[in-house]
Structure 1
Amino acid sequence: MDLRQLRYFCAVARERNFTRAAEALHIAQPPLSRQIQLLEEELGVQLISRSTRPLRLTDAGRLFHEQALQILGRVEQMQVATRRIGLNQRSVLVVGYVASTLYAGLPPLVRKLRQHSPDLDIQLLELTSVQQIEALKAGRIDIGFGRVRHNDPFVVGHLLREERLALAIPVDAPLGGATDALPVSALEGQQLIVYPKDVRFGFADQVQDLLREHDVRPSEIIEARELQTALGLVAAQSGVCIVPSAARQLRSDVHYRLIDGARMTSPVILNYRMNDSSRYIDVVKQLIQEMYAENPPWLDLQHNLPTRPQFEH
């Protein structure tokens, strides 16, 4: 499989017709059809249903199309960024992040960074904590903000804060009738929604490990693909969900209560490559310390432990 085949497939998926796709690609139709056939043979699945007019993607084809578009888009970003640096144009900083950091911390930091370095091209890329480690080592991102501790020798991790965990509860559920903190034992026998789905090791695993440490057993585990989906399921009364406290502002049709218990927190961690000499790493660390010194509302001690970043100089 190569990028040319991905481009060919995306053209066919867009045009829903081999002839029009070949014209858009400025190639003959037979080699286009042959490349799509080779792609399907390599994958071992049919991507395009050829029995309909216009052509229709199979379920596997729709998934492959979505992923192919992301890959081609990322390649284009890489090409543009490389040209900019090679032509001594704007420097580029690619920031990986988990979605929950968008609700406290990351947006004000990015604003400060834009003000400090207006010529810096800052690109934000949503990745799970585990994906960020691999992306750093592959050079696809420059820094990452995740929630999973690691011991990778090629990636430096700095703990920025320990955020308390909260329970998202349907508004009409018995546990939703109060505002004080819940003991972790209250989750015994609850139907628990976890996220993200199919990511190992991720936030869902952290949550389940914490419950096992407290000998708490949910009655059922439901996996959701992302945070917003999990909270939507809570609003639909499908169960309860443990989230970082900052996420409590996401939905007004869900009730939130902090959870009391040892280690019932979620870390926010700054990661970057070992021995990265980019001056922007130091700039980011400096701005983080300035931001934390301002004691913004999202850092209040009701929702965070009194942990502050300590960077070596």
Structure 2
Amino acid sequence: MVSLDLQKLQIFCEVARQRSFTRAAEALYLTQPTVSQQIQALERQMKVRLFERLAKEVYLTESGQVLYNKAAALLNMAQEAELAVREAAGISAGKLALGVGVTLATYVLPELLRRFNMSYKAGPNTTNQNGGFSPVKFDITLGNSETLAHKLLKNEVDLGLLGSPIEAHPLLELHPFLEDKLILVVNSEDPWVTEKRTSVGLGDIGNRPLLIRERGSALQAFVERMLDAGHVHPEQYLIMANLEAIKRSVEIGLGAAIVPALSVKRELEAGRLYALNIEGVEVGRTFIYAHHKDKEMTRPAKAFLELVKNYAINNATENSLNDVLPV
């Protein structure tokens, strides 16, 4: 029976992910020769080639892919076992890897982290004596919903906070936790503002440039489905990966945009943007939390998940925007 070294497996998995000995060495704070030696030793031990070396990148062989699937699961189990033992002893709070959509990362996550820091306890029967900060190490990855769902499936993040719609997957658990309204915004000098309109039809939107998020974004998918259902094709799409860039572009008159209400509160209150309803369309959007259904939740993950479940921003957002949203 072959005895496997967890350190060798960690190096092997990192090379597989990076497709490069050099990048893997940098990620693991090792020298490139050390990484090469460990992979060679593992190949001798397994008596198979694990990588094909093509040009400047390396690729898993068929045997390498089999080992990677098992090794990644084994390393995850080892990490979970260590965390479970340390948490039971009250030694460490561990690490929490979050995958968060850009909209939620900008307008919701900071408040969630603040509440977590104030409420999380470092160990059994102890209070937070860390100046209001939890001892949990957060590793936060930002991305669109499609990218983050893929990372959840590959066990690269523990929890995901995503926008909908998102394609269902048998290995993902998806749960709604926040409702928000999507609104159409234009700049303060737009003709619709001069006309004091509070709503426009889908056809009106098709007569001007529309700023939208990039493909893969849940917001982009939602907007395109709505427009396709109404057979509306705007005269020009301006695609941007950043909601802040979209808002700024609308402010200077480059077009209109359909955005989450929670993202434009300050701009509406300051009069830099003007909000309109879309006639005949209920434009609501659900944000969800997600995790791999087979993922063993650590104590920090369970605590953060409980905070997300109880997050009451829905009513708070609607109430705080009553004075600036169209009736």
TM-score (norm 1): 0.64
Which residue number in structure 1 is paired with residue 253 of structure 2? Answer: 237
Distance 1:183 1:26 in 2: 60
Q: Which moved more, 1:294-303 or 1:88-97?
A: 294-303
Gaps of 5+ in 1: 11-24, 28-36, 43-77, 304-313
1:64-104 deviation per Cα after TM superposition (whole angstroms, max 9, x unaligned): xxxxxxxxxxxxxx99xx69849944311111111211354
CA displacement at 1:285 relative to structure 2: 4.0
1:169-189 deviation per Cα after TM superposition (whole angstroms, max 9, x unaligned): 122221234473444443131
Equivalent of residue 146 in structure 2, options 127, 130, 141: 130
Alignment CA distance shift 1:281-1:92 (3 Å): closer
Which residue number in structure 1 is paired with residue 110 of structure 2? Answer: 107
Which residue number in structure 2 is paired with residue 74 of structure 1? Answer: none
Alignment of 1:261-272 (within 5 A): 261-272=280-291
Asked if the contact 2:178–2:288 (Cα under 8 Å) also holds between the matched residues in 1, the reply is yes
Asked if the contact 2:177–2:309 (Cα under 8 Å) also holds between the matched residues in 1, the reply is no
The size of the alignment, in residue pairs, is: 243
Asked if the contact 2:213–2:243 (Cα under 8 Å) also holds between the matched residues in 1, the reply is yes
Asked if the contact 1:164–1:258 (Cα under 8 Å) also holds between the matched residues in 2, the reply is no
Alignment of 1:16-27 (within 5 A): none
Letter in 2 for 1:107: P
Which residue number in structure 2 is paired with residue 174 of structure 1? Answer: 191
CA displacement at 1:114 relative to structure 2: 2.2
Distance 1:7 1:145 in 2: 28
Which residue number in structure 2 is paired with residue 259 of structure 1? Answer: 277
Alignment of 1:211-222 (within 5 A): 211-222=227-238
Letter in 2 for 1:291: Y
Gaps of 5+ in 2: 1-17, 34-53, 60-74, 87-91, 121-133, 323-327
Letter in 2 for 1:287: L
Which residue number in structure 1 is paired with residue 310 of structure 2? Answer: 290
Asked if the contact 2:105–2:142 (Cα under 8 Å) also holds between the matched residues in 1, the reply is no
Which residue number in structure 2 is paired with residue 141 of structure 1? Answer: 157
Tell me, yes or no, if structure 1 residue 300 matches structure 2 residue 299. no
Letter in 2 for 1:91: G
Distance 1:92 1:176 in 2: 49
Alignment CA distance shift 1:91-1:151 (3 Å): same
Tell me, yes or no, if structure 1 residue 187 matches structure 2 residue 205. yes
Letter in 1 for 2:216: R
Asked if the contact 2:174–2:290 (Cα under 8 Å) also holds between the matched residues in 1, the reply is yes
Corresponding residue SS for 2:170:
coil
Distance 2:158 2:177 in 1: 17
TM-score (norm 2): 0.62
Which residue number in structure 2 is paired with residue 92 of structure 1? Answer: 95
CA displacement at 1:230 relative to structure 2: 1.9
Asked if the contact 2:180–2:314 (Cα under 8 Å) also holds between the matched residues in 1, the reply is no
Tell me, yes or no, if structure 1 residue 119 matches structure 2 residue 135. yes
Distance 1:195 1:295 in 2: 23
Alignment CA distance shift 1:147-1:26 (3 Å): closer
Alignment CA distance shift 1:135-1:295 (3 Å): closer
CA displacement at 1:107 relative to structure 2: 2.2
CA displacement at 1:259 relative to structure 2: 2.6
Alignment CA distance shift 1:182-1:283 (3 Å): farther
Distance 1:211 1:296 in 2: 28
Asked if the contact 1:248–1:256 (Cα under 8 Å) also holds between the matched residues in 2, the reply is no
RMSD: 3.8
Which residue number in structure 2 is paired with residue 33 of structure 1? Answer: none
Alignment CA distance shift 1:9-1:297 (3 Å): closer
Asked if the contact 1:166–1:256 (Cα under 8 Å) also holds between the matched residues in 2, the reply is no
Which residue number in structure 2 is paired with residue 227 of structure 1? Answer: 243
Distance 2:56 2:105 in 1: 38
Distance 1:268 1:295 in 2: 10
Asked if the contact 2:177–2:311 (Cα under 8 Å) also holds between the matched residues in 1, the reply is no
Alignment CA distance shift 1:285-1:9 (3 Å): closer
